[in-house]
Amino acid sequence: MPVIIKNQTVISDTYTFYATYTEGDVLAKHSIIPVDDFLANPSLLEQHPGTIGVWLDSHHEPEALSPYLHQLAVIAVNFPSFTDGRGYSIARIIRERLGYQGELRAIGEVLHDQLFYLKRCGFDAFKLQAEKDPEEALRGFNDFSVSYQAATDHPQPLFRHRLH
Amino acid sequence: MYKYDAYDKTIVAERVAQFRDQTQRYLEGKLTDAEFLPLRLQNGLYVQRFAPMLRVAIPYGMVSATQIRKLAEISRRYDKGYVHFSTRQNVQYNWPKLERVPDILAELATDEMHAIQTSGNCIRNTTTDQFAGVAADELVDPRPYCEIIRQWSTFHPEFAYLPRKFKIAINGAKQDRAAVQVHDIGLHVEQNSHGELGFRVLVGGGLGRTPMIGTEICSFLPEQHLLTYLEAILRVYNRYGRRDNKYKARIKILVKALGAEAFRAKVDAEWQHLKDGPQTLTEAEIKRISQHFSSPDYIDLPAKSALLQQHLQQDPNFRHWYQRNVTGHKVPGYAIVTLSLKATAQAPGDATDKQLEAAADLAEQYSFGEIRVSHQQNLVLADVQQDHLYTLWQEALKFGFATPNIGLLTDVICCPGGDFCALANAKSLPIAEAIQRRFDDLDYLHDIGNLDLNISGCMNACGHHHVGHIGILGVDKKGEEFYQVQLGGSAYNDASLGKILGPSFARDVMPDVITSIIDVYLKHRTPEELFIDTYRRIGIQPFKDRVYASNN
């Protein structure tokens, strides 16, 4: 059973990931489909008996999802390469601007040493590369105990809550 | 200068632990080369031609005597007993062992230093005027803003994997000594007519493969909005900057592709969401940081030291040095001293462990224990009593710091080049040395006057060749090292990019080429003209004619 890290715990991944979706395709109960295919078929939200999530690639504009946000169980953001940092901005916009409260999942080239930054930008779920040990990677969330700047996890910068 | 508090210490200590763990996982094979690469780069660690190179941050060029001693000690224990100061006001070790870098970082942390974000595709060390806080022409001390940006940009979670590196410079004086027009973001600190502080914001300047002068996108940004506005610029860049081609990935390419107006509109649209949010600076925070940069305990002194005047009259060598290496100070009776790291046959910007320790001693004895690193790769003692200049000069002479050449042709800005750097197309250090040897006559050198000679060993332009009055670029022609010459660049208020003189030259004729260029200047100049003025008046052709007539 594939696993993900969710809220800093390794759990089973109940979602099936689709690289494409065309109207009429049979979907698993819990499915994550591409954002463009979803936007072409938004009625899936009502018609599909299970839960629907979408995934964005790093060049996608998350703003297009705003009418559907409260109905999406999962939004996944793909990191085609771990050095492609667009997903960090996408995540902050989804959380801080669009106010999304559901699962925000990092997929693609997601590695131990990016987890701290990903978490700070609002991701709460992480699908690591298959060959990486997710239990060992959990340490990555605790690399730093304090941060200077505001982000999704700490909306106040250090200078607004420092003790001295 | 800025002193760490418990938060800063925690962050740096946790970084050391993080990098120790990353290095260990790499050595155990749990991290691939590709995975480790950005991690080590964001800790300033390159793998170079002969050994790794470790770049240590000197935030906006400010360093204490204690820190300088630590840098010297590290150079002895982990390296070959010398360091190199870079054009980003940082310091580099050329021979550390990869496995020992975590130990070096732990040593640095004990004296409030680190190597965070000194390389990689992230926000780099913010640079500023090496005379910040003491310059007579200063409007606002830029250092508190540099520190505010340092804290905001340190481990910024959103901007650790930008399309390319990102450099910010701030200037707060009339004269731009921080080259702000050739930075990804350049900030001029200004006061508006209501007495409020703020910034004129330029974006999209830079050197490298496609050199450009920055464009103004905001004429006055009130100071409290500094971080939200920077965040808006960085977010636009992070989302829309090119990632398909590393040579087209800097923000300048995005600004040019969109046009300055459209870029500004995107930033403004983004900023509307961030403006007045939690990252907006508070008065208390600006005050808290500014207190770290309050003036030292100056004593009341006459504006002109009689002792100094006496020594200037008696000792022509001292006078030469004073003319070039001493700058006016805003406080009566004080002076700013630049210790030259440009002695002939010394790699520009290099300093030995003994020199570092001597500089620390001089700083403690004469300048409140502080040193600055200039982007021209020299060291600065910013607060010296005029009465002490003569004895300081004699001390500086002993340690090879007193070459009276600041701002002159032999005060070369130069990258480490092909002797060390894996990126270089050609060596740069031997060119610098050959030219310094050619122009070893001090009277002649002083007569030529202010002239920036900048040398880069490749088009990444670490030696800022585009903005040298004379710029030299190492190029590779079928495996052989050649040198292209550019004229007319400037990194100051009148910033401009040099024009290529013509076909490149072999190494051995370079001193002759420079001599020919100088001859043309000396022949055409009016009494009040510097090299750059004459060049701008007569254009490139007379230089071209002369150089290619005599060096073919």
Query: Token pair 């996408």 is at which residue?
Result: A90
Cβ contact B11–A164 (<8 Å): no
Domain B413-550 CATH (choose: 3.10.20.30, 3.40.50.2300, 3.30.70.1290, 3.30.413.10):
3.30.413.10
Cβ proximity of B381 and B63 under 8 Å: no
The CATH code of the domain that includes A79 is: 3.20.20.70
Taking the C-alpha atoms of residue B345 and residue B437, their distance in angstroms, rounded to an integer, is 8
Cβ contact B161–A85 (<8 Å): yes
B249, B285, B414, B293: which is closest to B342 by C-alpha? B414
Residues of A in contact with B239 (CB under 8 A): 86, 89-90
B91-93/B370-373 β-pairing: unpaired
List, for residues B254-263, the tens digit of each pLDDT value.
Answer: 999 999 999 9
Cβ contact B278–A155 (<8 Å): yes
Predicted local distance difference test score (pLDDT) of residue B274: 98
Determine which of B35, B36, B237, B270 to mutate to test the interface with A (most A C-beta atoms within 10 Å): B35
Q: How many domains does chain A have?
A: 1
Taking the C-alpha atoms of residue B527 and residue B327, their distance in angstroms, rounded to an integer, is 23
Residue-wise burial string across B264-277, b where 16 or more C-beta atoms lie within 10 A, e elsewhere: bebbeebbeebbeb
DSSP assignment letter at B337: E
Cβ proximity of B417 and B408 under 8 Å: no
Residue type, B27: L
**Residues 44-103 (A) with a CB less than 8 A from some CB of B:** 82-86, 88-90, 92, 97
pLDDT in tens, chain B (552 residues): 999 999 999 999 999 999 999 999 999 999 999 999 999 999 999 987 777 899 999 999 999 999 999 999 999 999 999 999 999 889 999 999 999 999 999 999 999 999 999 999 999 999 999 999 999 999 999 999 999 999 999 999 999 999 999 999 999 999 999 999 999 999 999 999 999 999 999 999 999 999 999 999 999 999 999 999 999 999 999 999 999 999 999 999 999 999 999 999 999 999 999 999 999 999 999 999 999 999 999 999 999 999 999 999 999 999 999 999 999 999 999 999 999 999 998 999 999 999 999 999 999 999 999 999 999 999 999 999 999 999 999 999 999 999 999 999 999 999 999 888 888 999 999 999 999 999 999 999 999 999 999 999 999 999 999 999 999 999 999 889 999 999 999 999 999 999 999 999 999 999 999 999 999 999 999 999 999 999 999 999 999 999 999 765
Predicted local distance difference test score (pLDDT) of residue B552: 57
Residues of B in contact with A83 (CB under 8 A): 38, 121, 161
Predicted local distance difference test score (pLDDT) of residue A131: 85
Predicted local distance difference test score (pLDDT) of residue B48: 72
B6-110 and B306-398 share one CATH topology? Answer: yes
Comparing alpha-carbon positions, the chain B residue that sits nearest to A119 is: B157
Predicted local distance difference test score (pLDDT) of residue B66: 98
**Residues 11-30 (A) with a CB less than 8 A from some CB of B:** none
Query: C-alpha distances in angstroms, B391 versus B180, B387, B394?
Result: 35, 9, 5
Q: End-to-end alpha-carbon separation of chain A, Å?
A: 49
CATH of domain B306-398: 3.90.480.20
Cβ contact B35–A147 (<8 Å): no
Cβ contact A160–B278 (<8 Å): yes
CA dihedral B356→B361→B362→B363, nearest 10 degrees, is: 90
Taking the C-alpha atoms of residue A164 and residue A43, their distance in angstroms, rounded to an integer, is 53
Residue type, B449: G
Determine which of B19, B239, B251 to mutate to test the interface with A (most A C-beta atoms within 10 Å): B239
Cβ contact B157–A117 (<8 Å): yes
Comparing alpha-carbon positions, the chain A residue that sits nearest to B18 is: A143
List, for residues A35-64, the tens digit of each pLDDT value.
Answer: 999 999 999 999 999 999 999 999 999 999
Query: C-alpha distances in angstroms, B374 versus B91, B133, B326, B378?
Result: 11, 14, 14, 5
Cβ contact B14–A143 (<8 Å): yes
- Which CATH fold topology does B134-292 show? Sulfite Reductase Hemoprotein; domain 1 (3.30.413)
Cβ contact B155–A117 (<8 Å): yes
Predicted local distance difference test score (pLDDT) of residue B550: 76
Cβ contact A162–B7 (<8 Å): yes
Determine which of A57, A88, A156 to mutate to test the interface with B (most B C-beta atoms within 10 Å): A88
Who among B39, B152, B288 is closest to A149 (CB)? B152
Containing H/E element for B265? helix B260-274
Taking the C-alpha atoms of residue B549 and residue B529, their distance in angstroms, rounded to an integer, is 25
Cβ contact A121–B160 (<8 Å): no
Q: Which domain holds residue A29?
A: 3-161
Taking the C-alpha atoms of residue B535 and residue A67, their distance in angstroms, rounded to an integer, is 61
Predicted local distance difference test score (pLDDT) of residue A130: 83
CATH of domain B6-110: 3.90.480.20
Cβ proximity of B349 and B402 under 8 Å: no
B94, B159, B177: which is closest to B417 by C-alpha? B94
pLDDT in tens, chain A (164 residues): 799 999 999 999 999 999 999 998 999 999 999 999 999 999 999 999 999 999 999 999 999 999 999 999 999 999 999 999 999 999 999 999 999 999 999 999 999 999 999 999 999 999 998 888 999 999 999 999 999 999 999 999 999 999 86
Instruction: Please report, for chain B, the start and end positions of each structural domain, with discontinuous segments joined by +.
Output: 6-110, 134-292, 306-398, 413-550
